[in-house]
């Protein structure tokens, strides 16, 4: 689909990385990007986010390029979206809606699809009125005033019914996960979750550690469904390893809420392996974004080891680094080439020797 991308520079230091990431998101959603319009503002315009001058420029570009949709790299309010659609006369998709669209495209499991649908409906419910009222025929007139409003109320009610049903089904999934976790606790099985920024290589590392075949690809949000495997590690015994959805800057709150059942594998883990793309120039910012999401889901106090992946690209050698207390803080690996994995297994063995819940590792260690 021919797409015009509007990228807004609000003066933040990581704008370039933010803009590049959004283009990757757009490509991942299948967009054919025909033009990128950059706007610079000190703060968003209340009516259209980018101001009247840029709106006119964007409108001309939509017509010149015959764009079928405008992708906006910021989160828009319902009023801003409505106003922009009036000017452009094509659909406007903001950052939140684009991420939701990718999630809908990639979700494979029944649970994942339920979670995506819930997030989409919650996002839609805040915009339902705007979606109707910005159509000229709904502004009034003979034969449309009553039915239009009745249809709107029907849609709102149906969405509410569906949201409640989805929440009930996801609660059942949570109860099932709780039962499984209790069984693991009774068996004193160590639980390890892989977390990290999207496209950091978590699934590739998961496959290397567990000899599984979880889907792994060089794209954002390749993994949406938690995959769990048992693996025997000499010295630690049976270990449950979970691969989780990748995190991203400013992850929409509704996605965190909708995916809480999936992320509970992270919340209740004994140890987090925080996978970092060692070759990324934005690795520090990405690690900070992951830690922010961990705080949002109350998982920030779980012991954490930093796993620097893709060292074959970054030009590093496999190694293990310890902190001032002598405990392992950083492990350098290449999941693709399966180098450095012995050091990673040793770090799990060392942690497994501590009582569950004992914070033997310094989770405050930051990337260099």
Q: pLDDT tens string for the chain (368 positions)?
A: 899 999 999 998 888 888 988 998 898 888 999 999 999 999 999 999 999 999 999 999 999 999 999 999 999 998 999 999 999 999 999 998 888 888 777 777 777 788 888 888 888 877 765 444 444 444 444 344 444 455 667 777 888 888 899 889 888 877 877 776 666 565 678 999 999 998 899 989 999 998 866 555 555 555 555 678 889 999 888 899 988 877 877 677 767 766 665 676 677 889 999 999 999 988 998 999 899 888 888 888 999 999 999 999 999 999 999 999 898 999 999 999 999 999 999 999 999 864 333 333 333 333 34
What pLDDT was estimated at residue 47?
94
Note the pLDDT of residue 363.
Answer: 34
The pLDDT, as a whole number, for residue 211 is 82
SS3 of the chain: the string is: CEEEEEEEECCCCCHHHHHHHHHHHHHHCCCEEEEEEEEECCCCECCCECCHHHHHHHHHHHHHHCCCEEEECCCCCHHHHHHHHHHHCCEEECHHHHHHHHHHHHCCCHHHHHHHHHHHHHHHHCCHHHHHHCCHHHHCCCCCHHHHHHHHHHHHHHHHHHHHHHHHHHHHHHHHHHHHHHHHHHCCCEEEEEEEECCCCHHHHHHHHHCCCCCCCCCCCCCCCCEEEEEEECCCEEEEEEECCCECCCCCHHHHHHCHHHHHHHHCCCEEEEEEECCCCCHHHHHHHHHHHHHHCCCCCCCEEEEEECHHHHCCCCEEEECCCCCEEEEECECCCCECHHHHHHHHHHHHCCCCCCCCCCCCCCCC
Known binding residues = 196-203, 221-225, 243-246, 309-312, 334-336
Q: Which residues are annotated as a binding site for Mg(2+)?
A: 203, 223
- pTM, full prediction: 0.72
Q: Residues annotated in the binding site for GTP, as ranges?
A: 196-203, 221-225, 243-246, 309-312, 334-336
């Amino acid at each position: 689909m021919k797409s015009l991308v509007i990228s807004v520079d609000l003066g933040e230091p990581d704008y370039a990385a933010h803009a590049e990431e959004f283009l990757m998101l757009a490509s991942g959603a299948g967009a054919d990007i025909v033009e990128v319009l950059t706007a610079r503002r000190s703060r968003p315009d209340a009516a259209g986010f980018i101001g009247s001058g840029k709106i006119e420029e964007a409108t001309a570009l939509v017509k010149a390029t015959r764009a079928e949709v405008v992708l906006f790299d910021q989160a828009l309010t319902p009023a801003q979206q409505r106003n922009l659609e009036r000017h452009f006369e094509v659909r406007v998709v903001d950052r939140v809606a684009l991420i939701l669209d990718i999630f809908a495209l990639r979700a494979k499991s029944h649970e994942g699809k339920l979670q995506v649908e819930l997030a989409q409906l919650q996002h839609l419910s805040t915009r339902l009125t705007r979606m109707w009222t910005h159509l000229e025929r709904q502004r009034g007139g003979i034969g449309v005033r009553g039915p239009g409003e009745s249809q709107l109320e029907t849609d709102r009610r149906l969405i509410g019914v569906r949201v409640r049903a989805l929440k009930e089904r996801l609660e059942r999934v949570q109860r099932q996960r709780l039962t499984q976790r209790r069984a693991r606790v009774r068996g004193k099985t160590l639980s390890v979750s892989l977390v990290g920024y999207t496209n950091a290589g978590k699934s590739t590392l998961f496959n290397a550690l567990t000899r599984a075949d979880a889907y792994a690809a060089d794209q954002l949000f390749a993994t949406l469904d938690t995959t769990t495997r048992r693996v025997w590690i000499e010295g630690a015994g049976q270990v449950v390893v979970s691969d989780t959805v990748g995190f991203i800057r400013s992850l929409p709150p509704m996605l965190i809420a909708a995916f809480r059942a999936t992320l509970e594998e992270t919340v209740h883990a004994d140890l987090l392996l925080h996978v970092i793309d060692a070759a990324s120039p934005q690795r520090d910012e990405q690690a900070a974004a992951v830690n922010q999401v961990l705080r949002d889901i109350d998982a920030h106090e779980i012991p954490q080891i930093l796993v620097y992946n893709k060292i074959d690209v970054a030009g590093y050698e496999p190694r293990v680094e310890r902190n001032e207390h002598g405990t392992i803080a950083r492990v350098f690996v290449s999941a693709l080439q399966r180098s450095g994995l012995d050091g990673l297994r040793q770090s799990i063995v060392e942690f497994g020797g501590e009582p569950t819940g004992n914070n033997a590792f310094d989770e405050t260690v930051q990337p260099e």
